[in-house]
C-alpha cells in the first residue's frame, strides 16, 4: 500500500476525514490551516485529528512554530 510507504500521506489520509466531521469553527479558516498545517504535523502529530488538542499544542509551542502560523494566533487575539 503506497500510503504506508509515505507516513505523511498516511497521516493526511487520517486527518482529512476527521476534519470533515469536526465542527466548522474547530477547523479554522483556510488561511489558518494553510499557515499551520506543517507545524501541526511536525509538533502535534500525536494530537491529530483532535482540533482542540492541536490548537492547544500549537499554542504551547508558539516559540517553535513558524512565523506564519504564530501570526494566526496573534490574529485570533484581536
Q: Read off the pLDDT of residues 55-78 as tens digits, 9 standing for 90 and up.
A: 999 999 999 999 999 999 887 665
Q: How far apart are CA 19 and CA 17, in angstroms?
A: 5
All cell numbers assigned to 63:
516559540
**26-47: per-residue pLDDT in tens?**
568 899 999 999 999 999 999 9
Q: How far apart are CA 70 and CA 37, in angstroms?
A: 12
All cell numbers assigned to 51:
482540533
Domain range for 39 is 2-77
Helices (H) and strands (E) in the chain, counts: 6, 0
Contact 73, 59 (CB under 8 A): yes
Q: Which residue has the cell 493526511?
A: 12
Amino acid at each position: 500500500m503506497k500510503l504506508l510507504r509515505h507516513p505523511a500521506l498516511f497521516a493526511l489520509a487520517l486527518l482529512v476525514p476527521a476534519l470533515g466531521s469536526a465542527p466548522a469553527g474547530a477547523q479554522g479558516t483556510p488561511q489558518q490551516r494553510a499557515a499551520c498545517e506543517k507545524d501541526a504535523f511536525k509538533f502535534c502529530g500525536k494530537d491529530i485529528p483532535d482540533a482542540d488538542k492541536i490548537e492547544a499544542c500549537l499554542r504551547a509551542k508558539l516559540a517553535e512554530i513558524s512565523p506564519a502560523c504564530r501570526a494566526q494566533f496573534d490574529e485570533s487575539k484581536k
